[in-house]
């Protein structure tokens, strides 16, 4: 989903009408890899591709939420931890992470 809203909101998971074709922010709802394919670099390849495409499309950057244990992983790609998100999706605490492209 792409949006002009700066933060990823729980409503975005359920309402595709919130997609704004020319939005500034590429939202990432999840990066899932089957257990048998983990630790082979597939998530990394997927993230690098999505980052490159979002930059090519002129977005301001990407936003995602992740559990505490994955903050360090996304930081390797340049995402900055903005602290705990207001999201309560799935009854879990989430960190909002943002990758800002240089303008």
Reply yes or no on whether the pLDDT at 15 is more than 80: no
So what's the pLDDT on residue 95? 96
Reply yes or no on whether the pLDDT at 91 is more than 90: no
Under 8 Å between Cβ of 22 and 78: no
Tokens of 69: 């244990």
Q: For 2-100, CATH number?
A: 3.40.630.30
User: With the C-alpha atoms ordered 69, 50, 23, 103, is the resulting torsion angle positive or negative?
Assistant: positive
Question: Residue holding tokens 């597939």?
Answer: 42
Reply yes or no on whether the pLDDT at 103 is more than 90: no
- Helix, strand, coil fractions of the chain, as percent rounded to 5: 35, 20, 45
Listed by start position, the domains of the chain span: 2-100
pLDDT digits (tens, 9 = 90+) for 22-76: 999 999 988 999 999 999 999 999 999 999 999 999 999 999 999 999 999 999 9
Parallel, antiparallel or unpaired: strands 25-28 and 61-66: parallel
Tokens of 38: 């983990």
């Amino acid at each position: 989903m792409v949006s002009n809203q700066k933060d990823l909101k729980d409503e975005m998971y359920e309402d595709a009408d919130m997609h704004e074709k020319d939005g500034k922010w590429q939202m990432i709802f999840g990066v899932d890899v089957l257990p048998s394919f983990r630790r082979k670099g597939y998530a990394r390849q997927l993230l690098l591709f999505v980052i490159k495409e979002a930059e090519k499309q002129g977005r301001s950057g990407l936003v995602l939420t992740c559990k505490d244990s994955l903050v360090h992983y996304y930081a390797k790609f340049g995402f900055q931890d903005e602290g705990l998100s207001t999201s309560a999706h799935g009854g879990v605490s989430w960190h909002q992470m943002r990758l800002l492209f240089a303008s």
